[in-house]
């Protein structure tokens, strides 16, 4: 890759953020710039997921804010202290002047970088469907003790991120509060992954997009199985395959195995589906960003269905989820259970 005075820092902490970073790079034709991928992980399995896909685009340099060896610390409290202290020192060695900073505002190191003076541009990228209730203010007040400590160490407790560009798969015009004149919204249509999705035939396979709703206490295991069974009974002539999220535990998946075929996947679903030699008949799941992203990639070549979560922890959770479902209902059909 040719070196350039144009330096772009891509801050990522999930596999999906890597996908969206690649899409922004491809969309903006930045191949001849100096593109630096800056990763931050707290869990080893997320690091391993990202390692599976980072080489799909020729980054000029890949920098780990936290050394992968620290992720091997088994005691979560010790790992948190070690990674915070190391990351706090490491990030302060960067010089961001005249650079473009790309990332998601819930990444604390991206938030730290956007404090820098004389930045060329600040770009926001999605990390799931949470973009539909975007709020540029600091999330500090709603955090627990550990995250508050991290924000204090980094000096970003009250820092507000003001992106110049929102690169998103969602219609943020509807949700973005008080967009200023110098802010631009660019639609992420997944052109890079879409270029890999040509000339495929539709199969009779349906994918159920997993979600750790049971483990997070939003729904009982019995209700979750009931939802999967309702899909199977509605589409008796199709083969339903469950694609778990990275955060679903082995114990939970072992419990689920008697009820549905499970295909474990170590990369973001958008990468997984682009690598298949066929179009699935349909996707079904709860309020996952996968529906929106795959819709951008495949359009009407795939059918989309969703299930509605019936219990909510707070009024805010209810309102935010319904925003996503309202957008989802514009192209996907609801399955009752």
| Same domain (yes/no): 33, 85 | yes
CATH classification at residue 247: 3.40.50
Tokens linked to 19:
């996908």
| Same domain (yes/no): 205, 182 | no
pLDDT at 289: 86
Give the separation between CA 63 and CA 36, rounded to whole angstroms.
7
| Same domain (yes/no): 155, 43 | yes
| Same domain (yes/no): 182, 284 | no
Backbone Cα Rg of the chain: 20
User: Residues with Cβ < 8 Å from 138, sequence gap 6 or more?
Assistant: 111, 151, 156, 157, 158, 159, 160
Q: How confident is the model at residue 9 (pLDDT cuts 50, 70, 90)?
A: very high
**Residue 194 belongs to some domain of the structure:** no
| Same domain (yes/no): 86, 169 | yes
Give the separation between CA 333 and CA 69, rounded to whole angstroms.
45
141: containing domain: 7-188
| Same domain (yes/no): 75, 129 | yes
Q: How confident is the model at residue 104 (pLDDT cuts 50, 70, 90)?
A: very high
| Same domain (yes/no): 180, 208 | no
Which residue, of 132, 167, 188, is where some domain finishes? 188
pLDDT tens per residue, range 143-164: 888 889 999 999 999 999 999 9
| Same domain (yes/no): 150, 214 | no
Report the number of distinct structural domains present in the chain: 2
**Residue 292 belongs to some domain of the structure:** yes
User: Residues with Cβ < 8 Å from 111, sequence gap 6 or more?
Assistant: 105, 138, 154, 156, 159, 161
Q: What is the mean pLDDT of the chain?
A: 89
User: Residues with Cβ < 8 Å from 249, sequence gap 6 or more?
Assistant: 212, 215
Query: What values do phi and psi take at 246, rounded to 5?
Result: -60, -30
Instruction: Please report how many Cα atoms fall inside a 13 Å half-sphere around the Cα of residue 118, on the Cβ side.
Output: 4
User: Residues with Cβ < 8 Å from 293, sequence gap 6 or more?
Assistant: 169, 190, 269, 270
Q: How confident is the model at residue 2 (pLDDT cuts 50, 70, 90)?
A: very low
| Same domain (yes/no): 284, 255 | yes
**Residue 193 belongs to some domain of the structure:** no
pLDDT tens per residue, range 250-296: 999 999 999 999 999 888 899 999 889 898 999 999 988 899 999 98
Closest CA to 140 of 150, 127, 125: 150
Does position 1 have pLDDT exceeding 50, yes or no?
no
| Same domain (yes/no): 236, 168 | no
**Residue 195 belongs to some domain of the structure:** no
pLDDT tens per residue, range 182-212: 888 899 999 988 887 767 888 999 999 999 9
| Same domain (yes/no): 153, 212 | no
In this prediction the pTM is 0.83
pLDDT at 45: 84
**Residue 307 belongs to some domain of the structure:** yes
User: Residues with Cβ < 8 Å from 336, sequence gap 6 or more?
Assistant: 230, 308
For residue 12, the surrounding DSSP H or E stretch is strand 7-12
Does position 71 have pLDDT exceeding 80, yes or no?
yes
| Same domain (yes/no): 128, 236 | no
Output DSSP code: residue 9.
Answer: E
């Amino acid at each position: 890759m040719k070196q350039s005075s144009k330096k772009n820092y891509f801050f990522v902490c999930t596999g999906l953020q890597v996908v969206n970073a690649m899409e922004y790079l491809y969309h903006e034709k930045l191949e001849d710039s100096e593109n630096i991928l800056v990763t931050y992980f707290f869990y080893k399995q997320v690091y391993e997921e990202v390692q599976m896909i980072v080489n799909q685009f020729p980054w000029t340099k890949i920098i780990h804010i936290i050394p992968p060896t620290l992720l091997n610390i088994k005691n979560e409290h010790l790992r948190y202290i070690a990674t915070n202290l190391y990351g706090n020192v490491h990030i302060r060695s960067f010089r961001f002047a005249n650079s473009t900073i790309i990332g998601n505002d819930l990444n604390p190191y991206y938030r730290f970088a956007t404090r820098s003076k004389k930045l060329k541009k600040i770009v926001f990228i999605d990390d799931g469907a949470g973009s539909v209730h975007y709020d540029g203010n600091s999330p500090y007040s709603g955090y627990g003790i550990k995250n508050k400590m991290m924000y204090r160490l980094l000096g970003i407790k009250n820092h507000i991120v003001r992106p110049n560009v929102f690169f998103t798969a969602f219609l943020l015009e509807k949700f973005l509060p008080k967009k200023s004149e110098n802010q631009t919204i660019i639609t992420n249509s997944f052109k890079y992954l879409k270029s890999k999705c040509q000339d495929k035939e539709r199969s009779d396979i349906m994918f159920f997009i997993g979600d750790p709703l049971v483990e997070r206490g939003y729904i009982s295991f019995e209700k979750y199985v009931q939802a999967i069974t309702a899909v199977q009974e509605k589409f008796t002539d199709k083969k339903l395959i469950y694609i778990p999220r990275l955060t679903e535990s082995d114990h939970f998946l072992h419990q689920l195995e008697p009820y549905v075929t499970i295909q474990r996947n170590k990369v973001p679903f958008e990468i997984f589906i682009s690598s298949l030699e066929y179009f699935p008949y349909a996707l079904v799941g709860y309020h996952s960003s996968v529906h929106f992203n795959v819709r951008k990639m495949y359009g009407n070549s795939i059918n989309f269905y969703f299930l509605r979560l019936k219990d909510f922890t707070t009024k805010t959770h209810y309102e935010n989820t319904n925003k996503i479902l309202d957008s989802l209902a514009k192209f996907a059909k609801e399955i009752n259970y």
